[in-house]
Chain A
């Protein structure tokens, strides 16, 4: 996308709420504690795995992946992913073997606390709990190198049956994120918009699947249509909601599935039942309708209330669950307007005017 010159007009026709969107982004940013703990937990798991002879013998070369790595995670950050690349693992090693070895090493290093095990076997990874870090988890997943029929140098993860492999390319998702956000593309608007979309999902759908990654990938497709943009965060958010709703509807209501943007010809495997997937698409469509109306609403306070409702709540710094989008100073919480005398350019603030002497 070529950046275009912005022209401003005398009329400010849109409710762009720069102050409020900035604050909303601040309110969904992972806490400093989470930001501090994530790399520490990641390092502990990585170090333990690297010290094991069997795993290091497979050419263990871990990297950080996931929303934390892509800087699109939102508060509360629940997990960090260690992508355990095994560069020299034999082609005949089964997924089950890899998972078993990871489990052996991690269980030994992270024993149960007060009878509660810290390491749990997941479908394709090992989850290590860090109760001392306010419930943060690290997901360690073994991966082996793989070249696709298109010649893409990517990776394979264990499948749920622990017999077969599933292809994946997490580094490419990171690269795409960085690229879309850079000054040659959306100049810093992509990452915050993804965060707002993830928060919208959390606000509208709660803990139901599909999760944040699905919404992030749908948003990425939405950006690639070229129909997401604008000068302000508000315009980005509203247009991204609309286009993402369209992507999700196509994927889950029309049943076309969600293309994997990191692998040619592949679809993203999406967890959750069909009803929940369709509910997600519908919720985004309704949110897009509501947000578009709000952007152009002549009643600024009602508009702010609409954005506030879409973005919902998150845990604040004091541990309370609070709305992330603050109401503008002139608005009451119910969307009505407060009484005050505005200070605007051109109004005389001093009755006697400017030719005063004193």
Chain B
């Protein structure tokens, strides 16, 4: 790839700019057409009235025609690719700035709706609009649509938001701290009302560890001081509205906890971990407290947090991870495909993995293998066992490994009988033939995985198939390429590209999991041709 030549005019860039400018022009025209006026100076802002009686099928007040709310709309510099902010104004301010334009309106038509401060407002006071919508379609780019959405927001806010509350993080409602370190916590059950210590770790992490202890200023008899790395845990239970300020937080606590927290703050405490419940899940909001000036109220800001426990990790495993934890899988051949199959099954939550391979990792392997250069020289099966344990220490998967190859019928029978599924990812024809013959004769369930003809296709086959199924036909493969050998004596090296290896591993893991969970639904096999026209190197 050559560097772009910046001395040449770049029509594509110019065209994107034109497109954005045209979208902004149309947006402004829609606002102007709806009676909005652009405010002078500073960032572009428009002010105008939203009247719920102008949009059909919205909740309506018991008296008057509709609700009105004055809003300010800021398209922002990234319009139309980012959503404009729409901020409702408080009634007194709206009356002052809109004067007769508003007061005549109110007298003649409607009630002013003072927007609430519930879940549906962002930290900057803007309306949460288009939460569920398809953001790739930029629904706000159409000014009329944005105004309708904002008007519907006013009507629903005035009607008290019938329907479920939105699933939004509490962080959305507060400014962020300058401290961007990630606070990582595990189970905080039983820690309510207690001060915990945050220990700095590498990669900008603050991990919640054991109890914190105060220091004493001025020796014995001096006042307790909480070090800066202390966080006080409070539990506010089920939340009805977001936490936006210090008074709001104290109001959620029982009198004793509130007093205790205030006393700790007097003693220098500046961090609070707030446990809360929403939508049947428990969240933790990390607050940093600052006092801009003596006597001024405490300001709240949030610091990012992340839970670290098995539940959190399993959430990202297979959706049926709980069921998968009951199954055991053996992977024969821990080469490039087998190592990645083992890794995927480990990530997915399979209960037991047994790894079998007789070879050691050589310097050419890491290009396509799960393991990196630090494992060169180690047996592949043991190396992958170590790798999995080290990289996912909280995983519930048991990983066993053996160094050796499968050479006898007894080996095959024992292996197939000892687990729920064997994945054959070996290029060793003896082992493959033994496993296939044993499985076909009722010895157990086998899944064979491979890349065909150096990356032409990837394929999996189940043995035995379901009754009545026939195997996927044998493909016509492209002509062989000249084979490549490493120095010394050995088999030719496959020139299969890494992406084909990952593809085969993913296909195998996918079929393996389905074979465990719903064996009756899994066909005889699947082949995906990756290179319909053979690539000439």
Contacts and interface: CB of A to CB of B under 8 A. Distances in A.
A5 B54 contact: yes
A353 interface: yes
Nearest to B134: A354
B19 interface: yes
Interface stretch (A53-61, A84-92, A139-147, A339-347): A339-347
A5 B144 contact: no
B148 to A, nearest CB: 8
A20 B25 CA distance: 8
Interface residues of A, number: 42
User: Which of A20, A232, A345, A350: most chain B CB closer than 10 A?
Assistant: A345
Contact of A187 (B37, B134, B142): B37
Given A3-B101, A342-B22, A346-B142, A12 B137 contact: no
Contacts of B35: 5-6, 231
Interface in B293-322: none
A349 interface: yes
A14 interface: yes
Interface in B9-56: 15-26, 28-35, 37-38, 48-49, 51, 54
A231 B36 CA distance: 8
B22 A347 contact: no
A343 B142 contact: no
A348 B138 CA distance: 8
Contacts of A231: 32-35
Contact of B17 (A2, A182, A329, A347): A329
A14 B34 CA distance: 12
A286 B23 CA distance: 32
Nearest to B34: A8
Contact of A7 (B20, B22, B28, B54): B54
B327 interface: no
Given A342-B23, A343-B138, A349-B138, A16 B100 contact: no
A5 B23 CA distance: 25
A10 interface: yes
Interface in A187-207: 187-188
Interface in A305-358: 328-330, 338-350, 353-354
Contacts, number: 134
B58 to A, nearest CB: 14
Given A187-B37, A349-B137, A330 B22 contact: yes
A5 B55 CA distance: 13
Given A8-B144, A345-B141, A349-B138, A232 B22 contact: no
User: Which of B20, B141, B145: most chain A CB closer than 10 A?
Assistant: B141
Contact of B139 (A17, A232, A345): A345
Given A3-B101, A8-B54, A19-B24, A340 B33 contact: no
A346 B137 contact: yes
A274 interface: no
A353 B133 CA distance: 12
Contacts of B81: 343, 349
B80 interface: yes
> Which 6 A-B pairs rank lowest in CB-CB distance, beginning with the nearest?
A6-B35, A329-B21, A345-B142, A183-B99, A345-B141, A18-B28
Interface of A: 2-3, 5-10, 12, 14, 16-20, 22, 182-184, 187-188, 231-233, 328-330, 338-350, 353-354
15 contacts: A187-B37, A232-B29, A232-B33, A328-B22, A329-B17, A338-B15, A339-B15, A342-B19, A342-B23, A343-B19, A343-B20, A343-B23, A347-B138, A348-B137, A354-B137
